[in-house]
Structure formats: C-alpha cells, structure tokens
C-alpha cells in the first residue's frame, strides 16, 4: 500500500493509524516562524466512528489504508449477518450487527446502500440519504391535521421509529432522511 | 497598508533599502528550508539561494554604516503552505540603530496603532516564561520531562510525548503552538519577549539570565505576525551558531546550507548596536481584513501561482 506524507493528507484520504483504518477529516499546517513544523490532523477512526486529533511532525508518513466505498444492494438478514451484493459482479459480502450498526434501522431488502470495504471486508454500512419505508405501527390518522404540531411516533418495517405528523396512517409509505432520522413526506403509491 | 508603512518610516527617518533576493549563501536555521536555483553563465554554473529573510543583506548594510533601515520584500520558505503560510510571502523588516528591544517594541506598537487606525485594544507585553506558565502551569526555562508529560496526558495531547521525547525546544514549539499562542492578542497586540535560549539562534542572551534571549514575537488574534531581536553583533559567536546549525542540518539530512562568510566579515568589521524585526505583511493584511486564510489576501497563492 502507498505511504502518504502529512503534505498529502487531504480530507477523505484513508490511512492506517494505530492499526485501524482511518479517514482524514482536516489537516492544518502549524509552524512557528523559527520552530518545528507540525500538522494538526483531525481523523475519523472508521472502525469506531470516533473522531480524534493527532499532531505529526510535518513530513511524517502514514501507510495508506485499502478502504473503498462500494455501492451495493442489501439482500437479506439471516439473523446473524446481513448480506450485500455488488450489482455488476454479483459478489456477495456479509456484515454482522457490530459493523452494520444503526444503518440496520434503514435497510430494506433490495435497497441500494454504501458498504465500506477494508481489505475487501465490510467495515461500515451507510444507508442511502433518503429511504422509503412502510409504517407498520402508529396511532390512527387524524383528518384535517397539517404537518405542524407535535406529531406521533411511527414504527417502520425495518424497526426504526420516527416522528410523523398526525395525519399519516398505518401501512402508508413515507420518505425519511437517514442522516437525521426525520420524516420528509408521504410517498404516493 | 504599504503607503501607511512608508509614511511611518519616512517620518522617523528610517531609510528604505532593497537587497538581493538571490544570494550565494543561505540561512543555516534547520527549521527554515530554502529554495535553490542555478545561475548559468556557461561554462560555469553556480547555486544561488532565494532568501528566507533579508536579514543577512540588511545586516551587511548596517555594518557598512547605513544607519536605521527598512525593507519591504519577498521572502521564500520551502515547504511551508497552509492556512497561515505561503512559501512566497511579503516581509517588512527593519533595523534600528541604538534601539534596545523595549524601544523596538514601542515602535511596533506605534506602527500598529496607525495601521489599525487606533481600533486595537491596548498592547500587552509579557515574558515567554510568564505567558507559558499562565496557560500551561509549566516552567518554560527549566525542562522537566515528567512535568511536561503529566501536562500532555492531562490535556489530551499525549501524542506530544512520543513526538517530542527529551527535546526541550520541540516541547516548547508544540505546547506554545497549541496551548498558548491561540489565546494571545485578542484584537490587540501581544508582544512576547524573553524567549528561552534554546529557541533562538540569532538573538543575544539576556545579560541577567542566560536562559533567556533578547527576542520578541508579535501575536494578534492567535496569529504570529513577527519576530524581532536585539541583534547579536559578535562575529565569533555568530560563526559558532552557524556551525552548530550546519551540524544539526547534517544530522537531520537536510539540504546543505552555505555559510554566509560575507555576513561574518561584515560582523567582524562591526555591526552597530541595534534591534531589528520582521513582520509578515500578508498575515497583517489577514487580520486587517478579517480573512481566515492567507490565500484570501494574496493575488495567487502557491496552488495557483
């Protein structure tokens, strides 16, 4: 794998740090006029999702991490693992609940999502920004109510619970922003 | 800004000068990387260096009897690029004959008062030791590895330990850069003087405390704007410091520096008692215009040059 110097640390670059794959978020060059040059780097650990700050002497290097984001189709959950498939090669990958994490709340069979591979093994799963899911459980709809007001909880087919306006009824399909977990709109069949 | 500066020095009878950007010799400071170019006069060719600051040439003028002088010019530092750095930048450097550091600080304050039209908070002068202790609780002049490590561990900076090891100067660079400097000079100048001896190669040692030097740094809104010295006039001492820096460069496998024998000859001839300072004009312009990046105040930064 390639080796990257602090000068090459750009947002999004994937490197190995403390044996974990990480993504560079921010890299600031800090140098006193008559002193040592440093790079203060914000890094996300891709395994834990934690963001840490590290300081390097300018010119220090880190090994690149073989991390790629792949668009895959979510197939099914066998109880222990969720299975994903590359659409062009039909190659399949499996990921356990620890890797899938909260993304599992938004994954519907056949939907497309992003699977991050590290050394060709799933590292993280990111759902599409917007997903359309059916409401399986909510209080009955109230006619005449508009989207203002408090709303009510609604359980979706994937198990996620979101707040929806009072007029939304059970068995309806709604669009949700997976980044915030917020209701966007009803989806007309 | 430039007009304002020129009027300021004209009123004070400081003469504007211009010195070569290209020189046969380079700075020796291991922390300053120079640009190298080749001067072709077939069949000969010679390596010339772009100056990292106009200091050496200006000191030669001072030794030749120029009196107080200033210069606005480009300086070049290889490998320095970032939010506050561009490898080619503009320096205002001036030397005041028979000024000590306190008089020079006064002049810097007067210049900023004019540049910022009196809108700044009152300038603050503080010693390195005091300000370092204020923000870190540590003694900057006397290195205690255990104290420094304890501080780093308690402040989420444990990577400093592996990075700095037993190197006092490196620890000071690290802790000052991240724990002190960001808080200096809120909408006003902060002048930090009395730098630890391990932090300055060209300044005189303080007569009363040889752990400190006659060096001052200027900060505003957490940005380093300039660096000044009560200048070292002793040619032998300067020669020793050059040699030790050249040795450090060798140990760190840095490009070989060429010692400026012409400066040493000039110092031998006699540098008048003087203080001098260099200010980064691009950064001052950043502060004047509330810019967040040096790229915003130069026509084309290095990525677009």
Give the relative orientation of helices B168-175 and B128-136 as an angle to the nearest 10 degrees.
70
* pLDDT on residue A142: 66
Q: In 3-state terms, what secondary structure has residue B39?
A: strand
Question: What's the mean pLDDT in B60-67?
Answer: 96
Query: Which residues in chain B are closer than 8 Å to A37, comparing Cβ atoms?
Result: 31, 79-80
Interface test with A, best of B77, B79, B199 (most A CBs within 10 A): B79
Written as one string, the DSSP assignment of B56-81 is HHHHHHHHTT--SEEEEEEEE-TT--
CB B264 within 8 A of CB B236: no
Could you tell me the two tokens for A83?
């299975």
Nearest chain A alpha carbon to B215: A34
Q: How far apart are the CA of A56 and the nearest CA of chain B, in angstroms?
A: 7
CB A85 within 8 A of CB A21: no
**pTM metric for this prediction:** 0.82
Q: Residue A146: pLDDT above 70?
A: no
Q: pLDDT digits over B169-207, tens only?
A: 999 999 999 999 999 999 999 999 999 988 866 678 888
Q: How far apart are the CA of B31 and the nearest CA of chain A, in angstroms?
A: 6
Query: Using the beta-carbon criterion (under 8 Å), do A36 and B174 form an inter-chain contact?
Result: yes
pLDDT band for position B120 (50/70/90)? very high
B302–A contact, CB cutoff 8 A: no
Please work out, in degrees rounded to the nearest 5, the angle formed at the alpha carbon of residue B257 by the alpha carbons of B97 and B47.
100
Helix, strand, coil percentages in chain B from 3-state DSSP, rounded to 5: 40, 25, 35
**pLDDT over 70 for what percent of chain A?**
95
Q: Residue B63: pLDDT above 70?
A: yes
Question: What's the mean pLDDT in A101-116?
Answer: 91
Q: Do domains A67-127 and A130-186 have the same CATH topology?
A: yes
**pLDDT over 90 for what percent of chain B?**
84
Question: What's the mean pLDDT in B2-31?
Answer: 95
Interface test with A, best of B31, B128, B225 (most A CBs within 10 A): B31
* pLDDT on residue B211: 87
Pairwise CA distance, residues B305 & B303, whole Å: 6
Query: Using the beta-carbon criterion (under 8 Å), do B31 and A34 form an inter-chain contact?
Result: yes
* Domain-wise residue ranges, chain A: 3-63, 67-127, 130-186
Of B81, B177, B199, the CB nearest to A38: B177
Instruction: Choose the CATH number for A3-63 among 2.170.150.20, 3.30.499.10, 2.30.30.30, 1.10.3720.10.
Output: 2.30.30.30
Q: Residue A144: pLDDT above 70?
A: no
A56–B contact, CB cutoff 8 A: yes
Query: Using the beta-carbon criterion (under 8 Å), do A30 and B82 form an inter-chain contact?
Result: yes
Written as one string, the DSSP assignment of B86-126 is -SEEEEEEEEEET--HHHHHHHHHHHHHHHTTT-SEEEEEE
Of B157, B169, B177, the CB nearest to A30: B177
Interface test with B, best of A32, A40, A42, A62 (most B CBs within 10 A): A32
Could you tell me the two tokens for B210?
């040889």
Query: Which residues in chain A are closer than 8 Å to B157, comparing Cβ atoms?
Result: 55
* pLDDT on residue B202: 67
Query: Which residues in chain A are closer than 8 Å to B86, comparing Cβ atoms?
Result: none
* pLDDT on residue B133: 97
How large is the ipTM? 0.86
* Domain-wise residue ranges, chain B: 2-120+187-296
Average pLDDT, chain A: 90
Query: Using the beta-carbon criterion (under 8 Å), do B227 and A34 form an inter-chain contact?
Result: yes
CB A84 within 8 A of CB A94: yes
Q: How far apart are the CA of A15 and the nearest CA of chain B, in angstroms?
A: 17
CB B52 within 8 A of CB B93: no
* pLDDT on residue B204: 83
**pLDDT over 90 for what percent of chain A?**
69
Cα atoms found within 13 Å of the Cα of residue B120, Cβ hemisphere only: 24
Q: Of all helices (H) and strands (E), which one includes residue B50? A: strand B44-50
Nearest chain A alpha carbon to B29: A34
Domain B2-120+187-296 is classified in which CATH homologous superfamily?
Answer: Bira Bifunctional Protein; Domain 2 (3.30.930.10)
Q: Please tell me the CATH code under which domain A67-127 is placed.
A: 2.40.50.140
Query: Which residues in chain A are closer than 8 Å to B173, comparing Cβ atoms?
Result: 32, 35-36, 38
Q: Residue A145: pLDDT above 60?
A: no
CATH architecture of A130-186: Beta Barrel (2.40)
């Amino acid at each position: 794998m390639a080796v990257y110097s602090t000068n090459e640390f750009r947002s999004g670059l994937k490197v190995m740090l403390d044996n974990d794959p990480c993504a560079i978020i921010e890299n600031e060059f800090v140098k006193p006029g008559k002193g040592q040059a440093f790079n203060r780097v914000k890094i996300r650990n891709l395994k834990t999702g934690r963001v840490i700050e590290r300081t390097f002497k300018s010119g220090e290097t880190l090994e690149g991490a073989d991390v790629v984001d792949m668009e895959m189709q979510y197939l099914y959950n066998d109880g222990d693992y969720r299975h994903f498939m590359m659409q062009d090669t039909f190659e399949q990958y499996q990921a356990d609940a620890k890797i899938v994490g909260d993304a599992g709340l938004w994954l519907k069979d056949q939907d497309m999502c992003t699977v991050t591979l590290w050394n060709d093994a799933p590292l993280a799963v990111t759902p599409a920004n917007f997903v359309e899911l059916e409401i399986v459980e909510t209080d009955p709809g109230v006619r005449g109510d508009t989207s203002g007001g408090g709303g009510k909880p609604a359980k979706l087919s994937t198990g996620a619970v979101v707040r929806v306006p009072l007029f939304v009824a059970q068995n309806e399909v709604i669009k949700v922003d997976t980044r915030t977990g917020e209701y966007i709109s009803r989806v007309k069949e | 800004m430039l007009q304002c500066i020129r009027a300021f020095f004209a009123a004070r009878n400081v003469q504007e000068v211009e010195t070569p950007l290209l020189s046969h010799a380079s700075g020796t400071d291991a922390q300053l990387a120079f640009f190298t170019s080749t001067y072709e006069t077939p069949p000969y060719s010679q390596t010339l260096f772009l100056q990292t600051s106009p200091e050496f040439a200006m000191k030669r003028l001072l030794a030749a009897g120029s009196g107080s002088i200033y210069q606005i010019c480009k300086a070049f530092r290889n490998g320095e690029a970032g939010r506050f750095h561009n490898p080619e930048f503009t320096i205002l450097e001036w030397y005041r004959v028979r000024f000590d550091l306190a008089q020079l600080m006064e002049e810097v304050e007067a210049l900023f008062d004019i540049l910022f039209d009196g809108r700044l908070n009152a300038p603050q002068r503080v010693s390195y030791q005091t300000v370092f202790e204020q923000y870190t609780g540590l003694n900057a002049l006397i290195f205690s590895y255990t104290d420094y490590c304890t501080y780093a561990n308690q402040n989420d900076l444990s990577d400093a330990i592996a990075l700095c090891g037993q190197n006092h100067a490196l620890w000071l660079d690290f802790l000052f850069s991240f724990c002190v400097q960001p808080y200096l000079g809120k909408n006003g100048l902060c002048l930090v003087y009395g730098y630890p001896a391990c932090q300055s190669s060209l300044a005189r040692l303080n007569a009363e405390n040889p752990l400190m030097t006659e060096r001052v740094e200027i900060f505003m809104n957490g940005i380093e704007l300039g660096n000044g010295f009560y200048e070292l006039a002793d040619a032998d001492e300067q020669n020793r410091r050059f040699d030790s820096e050249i040795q450090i460069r060798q140990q760190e496998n840095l490009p070989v520096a060429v010692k400026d024998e012409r400066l040493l000859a000039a110092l031998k001839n006699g540098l008048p008692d003087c203080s001098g300072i260099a200010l980064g004009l691009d950064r001052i312009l950043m502060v004047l215009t509330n810019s967040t990046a040096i790229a915003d105040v130069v026509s084309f930064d290095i990525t677009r040059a």
